[in-house]
Structure 1
Amino acid sequence: MNNIAIIPLRAGSKGIVNKNRTKILGRPLFCWVLTEAIQSNLDHVYVFTDDKIIQSFIEAEYTWTNKITVVERSAESASDTASTELGMIELAEKLSYGFDHYFLLQATSPLTTYVDINRAISTLKTEGVDSVLSAVKTHRFIWNSRGRSLNYDYMNRPRRQDFEGLIIENGAVYGCTKKSFQKTKNRLGGQVQLIEMEEDTLIEIDSPEDLIMVEQLLKKRLLKNKTPVAAIKYLVMDVDGVFTDATVDYTKDGEFSKTFSFVDGMGLQILRENGIEPIIMTSENSMLVKKRMEKLNIDRCYLGVKDKYALINNMLPQLGVRRNQLAYLGDDINDMANILSVGWGSCPNDATREVANIADIKLEHSGGKGAIRELVDFLIRFNNRV
């Protein structure tokens, strides 16, 4: 079975400017569902967009997977008035309907997980239905604008545990067979089956207020990865603001110098001697950093990484660890998702306010001035206790 998904992303957005690129916990909105799609049992994911910035980001960032293709959508299907189905039809025709099952994933539902996607795939494959959609069971009492209760008798108000409630479409995941889509040209058709998702996934991002609520829900979800904290096997570190004081000297020819601490360098040697391996992950593609990490004999050095959370997710099976066996040291917003989700998330004492507010450990030392060595000492003591 060839299971493909489309993630449609428009460059224009009226409610929230550049909505699909808006940062949530330091990651562009669309990255949350895209990462889960990569991790799922989908065979291929097509990001269907007219946004050149998103296209460039994906093509540069996800070189570690062959599961994603960016397809440019037409101006017609990217217009304010175009339906999502128009985009789905356009892509299906570009692919000459070369799929068995066709899934629609929405970037505005960033709480979608690979488990939800896999359940949709499994349902469509094994249940003999024509289409599936994700939904949420809610126990809220519903009224219409004329003051009539729609789903309960207010004169005999039921207890929550006795109330069946309602099933509400949450706009996160849809799927259909090729036959169904060719016949209906719609995401749903024929016999439809529901897959139930968590109640908090009912929120779709349409307003700035939605962004705030979803960010808090994502924080709560990421924190679940921490427990129970296990012995740390790897320490993942940013570079600028961690190895350095976040400054760089430039000449007319470009980047000239960064300053690194020998105390921190010795700390990494001690770290390895105690069974914890360092990993470097930085958004900058710096030859100075590359040379310094070679000098420190650090093999796992990843340069030019914007979506660090996705790359770590991809590395976990190779490393043979879970997130609670990682420590992370970062200082800025693109480190937030990892700081929240690893066993020990930490930051130097001069990190940005947003990062300092969520870190498990706010170190006493600054970036480039002993922060790494301080964290190394902590992790060794911690591992000796667990």
Structure 2
Amino acid sequence: MKKTAIIPLRKNSKGIPGKNKKKMLGRPLFSWVLTAAVFSELDEVYIFTDDQEIIDFVNREYHWTPKVKALLRNDHNASDTASTESAMIEFAESIGNFDILCLLQATSPLTTSQDINATLDEVLKNQKTSALTVVNTHRFIWNADGTPQNYDVFKRPRRQDFEGLLIENGAVYVTTKEAFKTSHNRVSGSIGLVKMPEESLVEIDSLTDWEIVENLLAERQKKTKQHQRIDYLVLDVDGVFTDGCVYYNAEGEMAKKFNMRDGMGLEILRQNKVEVIVLTSENSELVAQRMKKLQIKHTFLGVKDKFSFLTQFLLDRNSSFGAVAYVGDDVNDLANICSVGWSFTPADAVEAVKANADYILTNASGEGAIRETCEILLKYNKRYERL
């Protein structure tokens, strides 16, 4: 059965302007649920939006997976008054070829591939017509007239004895095509429920909500860290290899300054069976030439979504983030900084990265930060050598 997902995005947002494109932990908000969808059991994932800038970003950044597609939605179904169901109907009529329709919300960045798969299973394996994600909350709910909804005030239960309430968290919805064609609703018929953690209930309607969810996301990534032998060193370029400065003339980019000692450190590291990978958002011919000189064959230029790209890179090699050391200096490195086995940042990195990195180097960018990292990794990997 063909399992198709839609992630509806609107260009305009009143609560937080440009919310869907705003960087959360260094990545556009929508990219978190998109990445979860890519690595789930879904067959295809559509970004459905009225924002051409997002469509261009998706087409450029996710060329490495055939799962991801972008589709322009009409202005009428992207207005403030339009319902999500109206966008789903337009989408279903445009696509047609699917058996299972999955609605994913960009404002739920804590959604994981496992959450998506579990919701799909409610329909595919447990024979439900549709399914959605919920949170089991143990909070006491009240009506506006001063009466309690879910407990007796004279018999207040202990938390451990209280079943609580299941509350829709708006993250994942799944329905069969036939059920959707009949009901024109995201869920109908027999409905399965999938529980997600309580923190996934936070809705992003204000900048305060944004900060809360961003911190939750950072902590979630850090908790999944695994320490093992480092097989890969992944490096940003500007602000890591270089001092972050670029010299221009009338023809454009003219020069960058690289530290020669960094090159020797990387050569020694490769001799000790640590593969070096360069991952940068800039598309620079100067960088390409320098990496060729350093014989770094895995050099990836112009990568904006470094987290999803690195996830696929490791999956292709049957490896994981635990085998990776990462050096970055700015917010677009944050997702990887929070996720890899060991993360490093130069002494002059931005404060947000320093606050999340495992190790703040004593050397600044372009002044031996990479060489220092190499020496630390060589010592660290010795503990995994056989006696």
User: For 2:359 and 2:187, how far apart are their aligned partners in 1?
Assistant: 48
TM-score (ref. length: structure 1): 0.98
The RMSD of aligned alpha carbons is 0.8
Q: Which residue of 2 aligns with 1:29?
A: 29
Measure how far apart 1:198 and its partner are: 1.1
1:190 pairs with 2:189: yes
Q: 1:340 maps to which residue? A: 338
Deviation at 1:154, TM superposition (A): 1.3
1:313 match: 311
Note the C-alpha offset of 1:385. Answer: 2.3
Shift of 1:320: 2.5
Deviations 1:81-107 (A, max 9, x none): 000011000011011x21110010000
Q: Is the 8 A contact 1:225 1:343 kept in 2?
A: no
State the partner residue of 1:55: 55
2: CA distance between counterparts of 1:50 and 1:281? Answer: 30
Does structure 2 retain, via aligned residues, the 8 Å contact 1:134–1:169?
yes
Tell me the distance in 1 between the aligned counterparts of 2:315 and 2:87. 35
Letter in 2 for 1:266: M
Counterpart among 286, 300, 303 of residue 288 in structure 1: 286
TM-superposed CA distance for 1:322, in Å, is: 1.6
Aligned letter for 2:244?
Answer: A
Q: Distance in 2 between matches of 1:15 and 1:22?
A: 12
Deviations 1:328-371 (A, max 9, x none): 00100000111111111111111111111111111111111100
Show the counterpart of 1:143: 142
Tell me the TM-score normalised to structure 2 length: 0.98
| Other-structure match for 1:171 | 170
- Give 1:161 deviation, angstroms: 1.3
DSSP 3-state at the match of 2:355: helix
Deviation at 1:225, TM superposition (A): 2.3
Give how far 1:299 is off: 0.8
Q: Secondary structure at the match of 1:142?
A: coil
Q: Deviations over 1:175-210 (max 9, x none)?
A: 100110000111011111111111111112111111
Provide the residue aligned with 2:68 in structure 1: 68
Contact kept in structure 2, 1:8 and 1:87, CA below 8 Å: yes
Once residues 318 and 381 of structure 2 are traced to their aligned partners in structure 1, the CA distance between those partners, rounded to angstroms, is: 18
Detail structure 1 runs of 4+ shifted over 3 Å in the superposition. none
Q: Which runs of 5 or more residues in structure 2 are unaligned? A: none
What is the DSSP-based 3-state SS (H/G/I as helix, E as strand, rest coil) of the residue aligned with 1:212? Answer: helix
- After superposition, residues 189-228 of structure 1 pair within 5 angstroms as 189-227=188-226
User: Is the 1:174–1:187 Cα contact (8 Å) retained in structure 2?
Assistant: yes
- How many residues are paired up? 384
Matching residue of 2:44: 44
Q: Is the 8 A contact 1:225 1:323 kept in 2?
A: no
Q: Paired residue for 1:277?
A: 275
How far the C-alpha of 1:159 sits from its partner, in A, is 1.1
Q: 1-side partners of 2:141 and 2:79: how far apart? A: 34
Once the 2 structures are TM-superposed, how far is the Cα of residue 237 of structure 1 from its aligned partner? 0.4
Q: What are structure 1's unaligned runs of at least 5 residues? A: none
Moved more, 1-10 or 50-59: 50-59
- Contact between 1:22 and 1:29, CA under 8 Å: does it hold in 2? yes
Task: Report matched runs for 1:216-255 at 5 Å.
Answer: 216-227=215-226, 229-255=227-253
Q: Does 1:373 align with 2:371?
A: yes
Cα distance in 1 between the residues matched to 2:239 and 2:282: 12
Please give the alpha-carbon distance, in whole angstroms, between the structure 2 residues aligned to 1:343 and 1:161.
Answer: 35
| Residues 144-196 of structure 1 deviation map (CA, whole Å, 9 limit, x = unaligned) | 11111110111111111111110000000001001100001110111111111
Q: Residue 121 of structure 1 aligns to a residue in which SS? A: helix
Q: Which moved more, 1:68-77 or 1:188-197?
A: 188-197
How far apart are the structure 1 equivalents of 2:127 and 2:363?
A: 60
118-127 vs 171-180, which moves further: 118-127
The letter of the residue matching 1:32 is: W
Q: d(CA) in 2 for partners of 1:51 and 1:299?
A: 36
Identity of aligned residues (%): 52
Render the CA deviation track for 1:290-324: whole Å, top value 9, x for unaligned.
11111111111100000100101111122222211
Q: Tell me which residue corresponds to 2:101.
A: 102
